[in-house]
Chains A and B, each alone.
Chain A
Amino acid sequence: MHSTSGSFGGRLFAPGLDGVGVPAIAQWRQGRLVVGVQDGTTEREWLAPEQPTVSAGGFNAAQLSVAWPVDGGQLQFFVDAGAARTAFAAGMPASLAQPHGMAQRAARGVERRFKLWWAALAAVALLPVLALALLVLRGGDVVNWAVRQIPHAQEAKLGDLVLAQTRAQMRVIDSGPAVDAVKHIGERLTPNTLHRYRWLVVDNNEMNAFAAPGGVVVVYSGLLKNTETPEEAAGVIAHEVAHAELRHGLQGMVKSLGLRAGAAVLLGDWSGAVLSEATTSLLEMQFSREAETQADTEGLRRLVAAKINPDGMARFMDKLAAQSQGATAPALLSTHPASAERAATLRALAAQHPGPWTPLALDWAAVKASLP
């Protein structure tokens, strides 16, 4: 058997040889492939034509095959992997470079497509997990994006829902100086708004106010009674308006809904219980502390823009803080940051705006007297 330099090993299939192939040694001789095998004691040699068929073959196209017709059929020589392939490529004539390159690309293509398939399968399998991870890690961005996709008209429908719920659960004061005063202040705070605001005063002695999606602002009569000046009430209304304008209600909904929807997808629950549950909890909506701080800042900005003295907002915070020293904290406080801290922050912000302010032309004593 040849073992000269430049020779390389492989497996030969040819008529007259064992059907499972025999180990063979090949080399390039004047640009033509010579394949030799040891057949017993004798040596047999095959000389390839100048243009044999070079291709990728075998299982997964992982083999490099050289084939040509011989007497009694077809001959096929498979070059061993590794160093033998390198030796084959180094010695081959230029005319074989193109089919050799195609064979290599075919083998690599099989490998690449296989990996792509696996990657695609893995991606599909991991999609719900990735979605949830995205929501947890970049939750804020995802929620904001989702909120931006919801038109104001849709949000207003949610507001209608809240309105109906409020009317069913609380005694709403429909007309009178208090409602007019809240509306007057609110409209000064919301020029060029996209919302259709609904201003409500409810008969409830709690010191509370809330804003629901779609521009429903509900002020409790107890809160109005506890204010000295219309500016104090304006501070609270500005805060709630800021919630509505910044669409915090929607954000909260999308967040809880998104997490629940994600969990439902992961757990395979498609019953729709998620949606109905989310809508019933509109009234119990609570904002994050971050949202509260944002609403304070935005509210103050709106007060300044409307030329309403922002000191009222800070003074009202003082009042809340004083109340929270008592036995029972006002309802508004349970979900809000510490009032004394907020008052200080608001004072610092308000100090940056020297005025001048236009006083609210409201007979506040009459407003408070009109409340039941």
Chain B
Amino acid sequence: MAMDVVDYQIFGSEMQYVEVELDPGEAAIGEAGVMMYMQEGITMDTIFGDGSQQGGFFGKLMGAGKRLLTGEGLFTTVFQNSGAGKQRVAFAAPYPGKIVPMDLSQLGGTIICQKDSFLCAAKGVALGIAFQKKLGVGLFGGEGFIMQKLDGDGMAFVHAGGTLMERTLAPGETLRVDTGCVVAFQPTVDFDIQYVGKIKSAIFGGEGLFFATLRGPGKVWLQSLPLSRLANRIILSAPAAGGRSADQGSLLGAGVLGGLIGGGSDD
């Protein structure tokens, strides 16, 4: 299928959104619920699957089933410019971080990314599922097990939490990463999940029991703040969930006085 070439512009610094310009007839697909605004002339259509399947009903059903596995909705929303001139539609990132534009044609046509990190793409980009099949301890690697594959030669936008790190690995160059911090990588990168090996460091060091090993060649994208880590901190300090309302600098602890002085100004 011919890819729709889209022009785009990213706005904001830490809470970004991407504005995609569509020529008449062009379309973009987005995760349900990430659309921010769209101009007149753009029509929204909800389709089963991701709009890239050619095969009949069964193919669509398979595609939709795979989307369920990666934790996404069964349906994707297609934003098509049915008007005369160029029109714009914007997609916003769901949590603090950076939007990563990826030109799949420059990257060899395929990108493996963390599930949930996909934001939007030109229509024609296929969203597939990619299992981390190197097992051993990989099965217990948690976040790195079920991944998503973006196939095509158009633009795709992926969201990274916190600060983005882009790194091009030379052949044989290795990077060890917390499993949750991997956003995306080229399929030429060897992605493996390894056991830390020291229970002590896992329990007292506060890191996970597993980390990901990325070996080049190829490009990798890392995020400094996985959503799960952010959510964990928020829950830990949310009074409603049994957390403490004192911030880390408070010497007075969470007593009445601490509460008064803290004044609920933070956390």
Map CB proximity to A onto B145-173 as digits: 1 under 8 Å, 0 otherwise.
00000000000000000000000111110
- Interfacial residues, chain A to chain B (CB-CB below 8 A): 11, 13, 15, 19-21, 23, 57-63, 65, 67, 73-76, 78, 110-111, 113-114, 117
Tell me whether B168 and A74 are in contact (CB under 8 A): no
Tell me whether A21 and B218 are in contact (CB under 8 A): yes
Tell me whether B217 and A13 are in contact (CB under 8 A): yes
Residues of B close to A74: CB separation below 8 A:
170-172
Residues of A close to B218: CB separation below 8 A:
13, 19-21, 58
Residue in B106, B134, B217, B219 whose Cβ sees the most chain A Cβ within 10 Å: B217
Identify the stretch in B15-23, B36-44, B184-192, B244-252 within 8 Å (CB) of chain A at 4 or more residues.
B184-192
With A13-B217, A114-B131 known as contacts, the answer to whether A19 contacts B170 (CB < 8 A) is yes
Residues of B close to A59: CB separation below 8 A:
112, 130, 185, 187-191
- Interfacial residues, chain B to chain A (CB-CB below 8 A): 106-108, 112, 130-135, 139, 168-172, 185-191, 216-219
Tell me whether A113 and B189 are in contact (CB under 8 A): no
28 interchain pairs (CB within 8 A)? A13-B170, A13-B216, A13-B217, A19-B168, A19-B169, A19-B170, A19-B217, A19-B218, A20-B107, A20-B168, A20-B218, A21-B188, A21-B218, A57-B188, A59-B130, A59-B187, A60-B133, A60-B134, A61-B134, A67-B171, A73-B171, A74-B170, A74-B171, A75-B171, A76-B217, A78-B188, A111-B133, A114-B133
A133-B88 Cα distance, complex, nearest whole Å: 58
Residues of B close to A73: CB separation below 8 A:
170-171
Q: In the complex, what residue of chain B is closest to A58 when comparing beta carbons?
A: B188
With A13-B217, A59-B130, A117-B135 known as contacts, the answer to whether A20 contacts B186 (CB < 8 A) is yes
Residues of A close to B108: CB separation below 8 A:
11, 20-21, 23
Tell me whether A63 and B188 are in contact (CB under 8 A): yes
Tell me how many residue pairs across A and B have CB atoms closer than 8 Å.
77
Shortest distance from the beta carbon of A7 to any chain B beta carbon, whole Å:
18
A11-B139 Cα distance, complex, nearest whole Å: 30
A19-B167 Cα distance, complex, nearest whole Å: 9
Residues of B close to A13: CB separation below 8 A:
170-171, 188, 216-218
A184-B130 Cα distance, complex, nearest whole Å: 78
For the complex with contacts A13-B188, A65-B188, 20 further pairs of A-B residues with Cβ separation under 8 Å are: A13-B171, A19-B168, A57-B190, A58-B187, A58-B188, A58-B190, A59-B189, A60-B130, A61-B190, A63-B188, A73-B170, A73-B171, A75-B171, A76-B172, A76-B217, A111-B133, A114-B133, A114-B135, A117-B135, A117-B139
A63-B132 Cα distance, complex, nearest whole Å: 14
Tell me whether B168 and A110 are in contact (CB under 8 A): no
Shortest distance from the beta carbon of B183 to any chain A beta carbon, whole Å:
14
Shortest distance from the beta carbon of A10 to any chain B beta carbon, whole Å:
10
Residues of B close to A78: CB separation below 8 A:
188
Tell me whether B172 and A62 are in contact (CB under 8 A): no
Residues of A close to B131: CB separation below 8 A:
60, 114
A20-B191 Cα distance, complex, nearest whole Å: 16
Shortest distance from the beta carbon of A258 to any chain B beta carbon, whole Å:
33
A114-B135 Cα distance, complex, nearest whole Å: 7
Residues of B close to A63: CB separation below 8 A:
187-188
Residue in A19, A62, A73 whose Cβ sees the most chain B Cβ within 10 Å: A19
Q: In the complex, what residue of chain A is closest to B149 when comparing beta carbons?
A: A59
A110-B187 Cα distance, complex, nearest whole Å: 15
Q: In the complex, what residue of chain B is closest to A73 when comparing beta carbons?
A: B170
A67-B172 Cα distance, complex, nearest whole Å: 10
Residues of B close to A19: CB separation below 8 A:
168-170, 217-219
Nearest 9 CB-CB pairs, A to B?
A19-B168, A13-B217, A114-B133, A76-B171, A74-B171, A60-B133, A59-B187, A58-B188, A20-B219
Residue in B132, B185, B187, B188 whose Cβ sees the most chain A Cβ within 10 Å: B188
A65-B132 Cα distance, complex, nearest whole Å: 19
A75-B170 Cα distance, complex, nearest whole Å: 9
Tell me whether B170 and A21 are in contact (CB under 8 A): no
Residues of B close to A20: CB separation below 8 A:
106-108, 168, 186, 218-219
Shortest distance from the beta carbon of B82 to any chain A beta carbon, whole Å:
35
Q: In the complex, what residue of chain B is closest to A116 when comparing beta carbons?
A: B135
A292-B176 Cα distance, complex, nearest whole Å: 71
